[in-house]
Structure 1
């Protein structure tokens, strides 16, 4: 019997859910890392803009390792969790999990990658501004 505490699960809130397609692949039929990073950045932006009450921009992405390939037809779920809110910046952990196409166990998720995104709040002129307090 498996202890449920030992089974890895996504951390944070489900922010984006996408279906992969052929146009997003490399020569070998795997989804490109750039496609994943683009959607991770969008998810970080959605999370940050809610917390910052407006416009934000990504200024850094910390180390990222890809744990497994993503095939066409996989359902990609991007989870976000704010870790640190500073005066003008927000650090957001972003995880990507997939439900592979034609998997034997359709409820099983696989972690693909994670990274910490650093996002700053911007004013209407594109200058860094303070993140409003709660």
Structure 2
């Protein structure tokens, strides 16, 4: 993690961490971050499978650094595996933090995990992913 300097994958979601998303110590809740990553993965999976998807697994979540109010959180998605009916993405959450009065932004990897989605048909049952 220490030598990772660039996001892996495509930017899928960008949002601002707000005060309503904090715990009593002022850090952003991990659950909020996980939900943003799930949304990003869902967007990427829907595009890749050309249709409706549902999250079926979240694996290997690692929280590296806290997220603070005012951080711009960016989720990047990288396709790890595509099967007959499911697709797995590696999702990285990076933040842009403003440092000092000069307004210079610093980018840091804060969280990463693997999200698996199943493709669904109109009947809400598994469907084959057309490649």
TM-score by length of 1: 0.90
Please say if 1:130 is aligned against 2:128: yes
Which position in structure 2 is the counterpart of 1:90? 87
Q: Distance in 2 between matches of 1:131 and 1:37?
A: 25
Structure 2, unmatched stretches of 5+, are: none
Query: Given the alignment, which residue of 97, 103, 110 partners 2:99?
Result: 103
Which position in structure 2 is the counterpart of 1:3? none
Once superposed, what is the RMSD of the aligned Cα atoms?
1.3
Shift of residue 99 of structure 1? 1.2
Q: Distance in 2 between matches of 1:7 and 1:91?
A: 21
Residue by residue, what CA displacement relative to the aligned partner does 1:79-124 show, whole Å, maximum 9, x if unpaired? 0011111100101010000012x41473421100110101110011
Please say if 1:34 is aligned against 2:19: no
TM-score by length of 2: 0.92
Moved >3 Å (runs of 4+)? none
Structure 1, unmatched stretches of 5+, are: 1-5
Larger strand share, 1 or 2: 2
Which position in structure 2 is the counterpart of 1:60? 57
Which position in structure 1 is the counterpart of 2:118? 120
- Secondary structure (helix, strand or coil) at the match of 2:75 reads strand
Shift of residue 7 of structure 1? 5.6
Q: For this pair of structures, how many residues does the alignment match?
A: 127
